[in-house]
Amino acid sequence: MTEPRRSLRVQRMTWEAPGVVSLDLVAPDGTALPAPEPGAHLDLHLSGGITRQYSLCGEAGWRVAVREIQAGQASRFIHHELRPGALIDVTGPRNNFRFDAAPRYLFIAGGIGITPLLPMLRAATRAGATWELHLCTHDADAPLIAEARAAGGVVHHHISTQGTRLDVASLLATPRADTLVYCCGPSALMLAVEQAGAHWPAGSLRFEWFAARPGATDGAQDSFELVCAASGHRALVGAGVSVLETLRGFGLDVPSSCEQGVCGTCECRVLEGSVDHRDSILSAAERAEGRLMMTCVSRAATPRLVLDI
């Protein structure tokens, strides 16, 4: 079944930094919304059938922050057309960026990538953990940095125009077994963190991607047999055709959103066969288990793939 939508009201819009506004969302009838987990995000369904994912960054209520992108239809609508009082459809929250317990944390954010980390900073402080944040921005106007500083840890602000770029290699040179690293930001920053931290203990580095990582969906497009155990459908999935498209062709009601392997909406359980994982969500351990796949981008690594659908 498709995840149900709900309509929320835009209670407040706040200027956070040049090109960044936050939206406070509330239930139209005043019902209290459940507290989301740190790292959770919402799907916002905007005009023209556009759906975009935004991290929840509020301390108590449901708040998202949106950076305007000149070529981004969704962000331009939010900045220039959406206004307080309007109703907006959402689904979620969902969480692909879960916050796990640790004695120490290292947070690395690029620009608006601070949004999923803010609730983690607060949660780490409440848990009595030690943490530091490295926030990288182009100039001194950084979104939500005052809230980050108020969260109780150590905040380092790296400003490109002032020549204080973050030295990722030096920061991650020495692995720490007691530390989890959470990173969100532009692909270049996250790839640099991934490379610099490759020698850290398995599972130490956690990433939130809102666009497919470069090359994530590259690879062979071999045909394979797809079997749906619950519904009884089967078909040959050819080159250039996704599993998600094939499932829709069967008439199955499969939820989806980003269709880039970054939101987790189209996740499906694997019963038989190996998966050629091309998403940017599953951890190395989850990929090795082979129990889940993102049907929008991942394919079969074996001639036959059986899904629980």
Q: What is the pLDDT of residues 63-110, one digit of tens each?
A: 999 999 987 889 999 999 999 999 999 999 999 999 999 999 999 999
pLDDT of res. 212: 77
Are 13 and 63 found together in one domain?
yes
Same domain membership, residue 140 and residue 185: yes
Residue 274 lies inside a defined structural domain of this protein? yes
* Domain total in the chain: 3
CB-based contact 158:164 (threshold 8 Å) = yes
- Per-residue pLDDT of 140-154, as tens digits, reads 999 999 999 999 999
The domain boundary, picked from 94, 119, 151, lies at 94
Are 295 and 273 in contact, with CB atoms under 8 Å apart?
no
Residue type at 138 in one-letter notation:
H
Residues in the chain where the model's pLDDT stays below 50: 1
Domain boundary among 76, 94, 112: 94
Nearest-angstrom CA–CA distance, 177 and 293: 29
pLDDT of res. 306: 96
Residues of the domain holding 88: 6-94
Cα–Cα distance between 21 and 27 in angstroms, integer? 20
| Residue where one domain finishes, among candidates 67, 94, 121 | 94
CA angle 88, 146, 129 (to 5 degrees): 100
Residues 123 and 201 in one domain: yes
Indicate whether 161 belongs to any domain: yes
Question: Can you give the CATH number for the domain in which 17 is found?
Answer: 2.40.30.10
- 3-class DSSP state for residue 276? strand
For residue 213, being part of any structural domain is answered with no
CA 141/CA 179 separation, integer angstroms: 29
Residues 202 and 113 occupy one common structural domain: yes
What is the model's pLDDT at position 1? Answer: 44
Do 112 and 140 belong together in one domain?
yes
Torsion 9-57-54-76 (CA) sign? positive
Residue 210 is predicted with a pLDDT of 78
Joined tokens for residue 194: 């991934």
- CATH number of the domain that residue 251 is part of: 3.10.20.30
